[in-house]
Amino acid sequence: MNEQVNTAQLTPADFTTDQEVRWCPGCGDYAILKAVRTVLAEVGARRENTVFVSGIGCSSRFPYYIDTYGFHTIHGRAPAVATGMLLANPDLDVWIITGDGDGLSIGGNHLLHILRRNLNCQILLFNNETYGLTKGQYSPTSHQATRSPSSPGGSVDSPVDPAGFALGCGARFVARGVDTQIKQLTEVLKAAYHHKGASFVEIYQNCIVFNEDVFEDFTAKSNIADHQIQLESGAPLLFGKDKSRGIAFDPSSLGLKTVDASSGEADILMHDPANYNLASALARFANPDNPVATGVLYDNPAPVYTGHPVSTGKRSLEDVLRGGFSWQVGKNE
């Protein structure tokens, strides 16, 4: 007898496995896990059609905790595995889970290519500015002078901005969320899900053991209003407790600047997620002079890569491999 597929709407509990969650108590990963389960239920995801694929790191344990198909693959290679799956079956709903070390260090090259090829998937990069699983070495996103077991004198490298990196790779959807701002995070994840093509979401995630409160300057409740600008499509770029500050064009730098908006005289820009230059400039904004931009920075769909059609030319594969400029070592001497 064929098994009946239950097509009823699934709940977050339906996406929960029986696995013991092995993250430190208080780790920001828990909140992200909860948000993702909620989003899967809200968008009507089907377990049989959904795959979570990850590399290596604390964050990369994610597929064990989501009751869909899942692959816990090798360090930095989740995009390569996801590419194979999507070329074999473009109808799959693929989520890639990676960390700042996994995705931007050993896996930086793979991340670059999946973004520029624009395969249809969601890529969630958990940024805790450290290597959690390997006990706190500095990562590509760690701030200069970060002291860690691998750099007791403080790191010397300048940090990578994941959202800026993704924009530079040609990503057509780039967003930022915060583990403690669940409402915004779920909205961002839903937008990423509905975007056709590679959606890149950087999530600021608190590693309470090796990098506690590293994002506090813009994520603490008391700092959000003045140090974060929460982007909304079509809305003016305003922030501050009483929306007294805003973002305007700066002709002298050909970039953006923060201005006083309380007088109503400043020419405040509207957020347009299809504007690449605006997204790039907002991605570069950083504390303490400018607010950190969260929400959807860029959403501008382009054709999705589904692979090239296989050639139906007359030559066999054997002909192609053996023909033309080929030789055997030792035979042609």
Ligand X SMILES: Cc1ncc(C[n+]2csc(CCOP(=O)(O)OP(=O)(O)O)c2C)c(N)n1
**8 A C-beta contact, residue 231 and residue 239:** no
100 contact, one of ligand SF4, ligand X, none, CB 5-8 Å limit per kind: ligand X
Of these, 10, 15, 27, 229, which contacts ligand SF4 (CB under 6 A)?
27
Q: Provide the β-strand partners of residue 259.
A: 246
Place of tokens 């999705």: 304
- The answer to whether the Cα torsion of 205, 209, 214, 216 is positive or negative is positive
Strands 173-178 and 292-299: antiparallel
Nearest CB to ligand X, comparing residues 126 and 215: 126
Amino acid at residue number 283? A
75 contact, one of ligand SF4, ligand X, none, CB 5-8 Å limit per kind: ligand X
Residue 106, C-beta contacts closer than 8 angstroms, at least 6 positions apart: 55, 75, 76
Size of the site for ligand X (CB under 6 A): 18
String marking each residue 137-166 x if it binds ligand X according to CB under 6 A: --x---------------------------
Nearest CB to ligand SF4, comparing residues 193 and 204: 204
- Alpha-carbon distance of 328 to 319, in angstroms, equals 15
In the complex, least distance from residue 162 CB atom to ligand SF4, rounded to whole angstroms? 16
* Residue 330 neighbours by CB distance under 10 Å: 6
Range in contact with ligand SF4 (rule: CB under 6 A) among 19-27, 34-42, 141-149, 249-257: 19-27
Residue 165, C-beta contacts closer than 8 angstroms, at least 6 positions apart: 104, 108, 111
Range in contact with ligand X (rule: CB under 6 A) among 50-58, 150-158, 184-192, 243-251: 50-58
For residue 128, state whether it binds ligand SF4 (rule: CB under 6 A): yes
* Residue 128: closest CA among 110, 112, 116, 142: 142
Nearest CB to ligand SF4, comparing residues 209 and 304: 209
Half-sphere exposure of 155 (CA within 13 A, CB side): 19
Q: Provide the β-strand partners of residue 248.
A: 257, 268
23 contact, one of ligand X, ligand SF4, none, CB 5-8 Å limit per kind: ligand SF4
Nearest CB to ligand X, comparing residues 56 and 247: 56
In 69-156, at which residue ranges do the beta strands (DSSP E only) sit? 69-72, 93-99, 121-127
**8 A C-beta contact, residue 292 and residue 228:** yes
Nearest CB to ligand X, comparing residues 176 and 195: 176
Nearest CB to ligand X, comparing residues 75 and 257: 75
For residue 134, state whether it binds ligand X (rule: CB under 6 A): yes
Of these, 75, 116, 257, 284, which contacts ligand X (CB under 6 A)?
75
Nearest CB to ligand SF4, comparing residues 142 and 258: 142
For residue 145, state whether it binds ligand SF4 (rule: CB under 6 A): no
**Tokens at 153, concatenated:** 């004198």
- Alpha-carbon distance of 19 to 21, in angstroms, equals 6
For residue 208, state whether it binds ligand SF4 (rule: CB under 6 A): yes
**8 A C-beta contact, residue 271 and residue 278:** yes
For residue 204, state whether it binds ligand SF4 (rule: CB under 6 A): no
Nearest CB to ligand SF4, comparing residues 33 and 45: 33
In the complex, least distance from residue 205 CB atom to ligand SF4, rounded to whole angstroms? 7
Residue 223 burial class via C-beta count within 10 angstroms: exposed 0-12, middle 13-18, buried 19 and up: middle
For residue 56, state whether it binds ligand X (rule: CB under 6 A): yes
The residues that touch ligand SF4, with contacts defined as CB under 6 A, are 23-24, 27, 29, 58, 128, 132, 207-210
The residues that touch ligand X, with contacts defined as CB under 6 A, are 56-59, 75, 99-102, 106, 126, 128, 130-134, 139
